[in-house]
Amino acid sequence: MNPDKLEEYKMQELVDKLNYYTKKYDEGKPEISDFEWDSMYFQLQDWENRTGIYLSDSPTQNINYQVVNKLNKVEHNHPMLSLDKTKDITVADSFYNSHKCIVMAKMDGLTCSLRYLDGKLVSAETRGNGIIGEDILHNALQVKNIPNRIDYYEELIVDGEIICTYNDFKAFENEYKNPRNFASGSIRLLDSQESATRNLTFVAWDVVKGLDLENLSDKLKWLGDLNFTVVPKGNNFYTFPVQIEHIQNECNALGYPIDGIVIKYDNCKEYEIAGKTDHHFKGGLAYKFYDEEYETTLLDIEWSMGRTGVLSPIGVFEPIEIDGTTITRASLSNISIMHQTLGEKPFKGQKIWVSKRNMIIPKIERAEKEE
């Protein structure tokens, strides 16, 4: 091994020891004396001064907050596509029984991908459109449960979700409407010091590269051993509906926001062979609990003449993205339903909530009405 590289690894070992003993001290469970800690600290300080090497997680350095001018666009090293979706539990149960599958919580946050080289976190990217995402490394380095260094030195790519637990969201619920939007906005801030105050959590649910094992379930177990927080999973000894209940109970106890269940082929080769469309991977399915509602602003009411000569109102609103599709308008069926949904006097600037009914048809579900 290169002498400089060997020296850096030895320094990292010392940094890891100091950080471990600091953690134990902060937990009220000190394992060494202050004198011993100081001795190691001064040894590290002398080493750094002599070599000019300063590791990012060294206790001699302040937390390395960064402010960026903008979030740079980055092309993913693997397609980050979604899964096909259903709200029909019989369809989900049939998919589950068609293969040996792993059942996981569908986290309700912002999907991102982490990449490690030589045991060090080197990139973090949002999902974006599945091909192009945004560089959020400056903020990922401040998320407390994302390991900056791991005891695995081959390339490792981990996909997962940035979330805010319901408990952590309590401090912000008067300013933000839900944990999902809060997490999505917070991890995309330009100032990493501000992002670090948001108490975000990363939950890993896939290993794209590395950890050479046959099954995803085994890879996720190994991720846990590497100090990643891993997605709550079901137990294949139970039926699919019982697994759903088990996962929901675990997520409720942890305060994790979820909006459904993910079913994937456990065998990684089978998952790869199943292939993909332009939109989703075929080796998995998302069972959604409900149609999600997205907040936007009403811009106008337009009128469309139907075949029978009846005018139908159409709500036009600020663009929102649902399931990878940008939506700007939705039918309000008739005047009666329009008034029932929007109130007697719909107005420009009115806050509305839109869903895709059965994940197909855009629908204005409700509105903030005038007092």
**Which residues are known catalytic residues?**
106
Question: Beta strand 120-126 with 110-117: parallel, antiparallel or unpaired?
Answer: antiparallel
Asked if 253 and 105 touch (Cβ cutoff 8 Å), the reply is no
Please, what's the largest Cα pairwise distance for the chain?
88
Contact between 234 and 244 (Cβ < 8 Å): yes
* Chain centre to alpha carbon of residue 234: 19
Phi, psi of 277 (to 5 degrees): -100, -175
As a whole number of angstroms, the distance between CA 236 and CA 184 comes to 32
Distance between CA 194 and CA 145 in Å, rounded?
17
CA count, 13 A, side-chain hemisphere, 332: 29
Write out the H or E segment, with its range, that includes residue 44.
helix 34-51
CA distances from 118 to 20, 22, 160, 203 (A): 20, 24, 20, 22
DSSP 188: T
d(CA 329, CA 351): 14
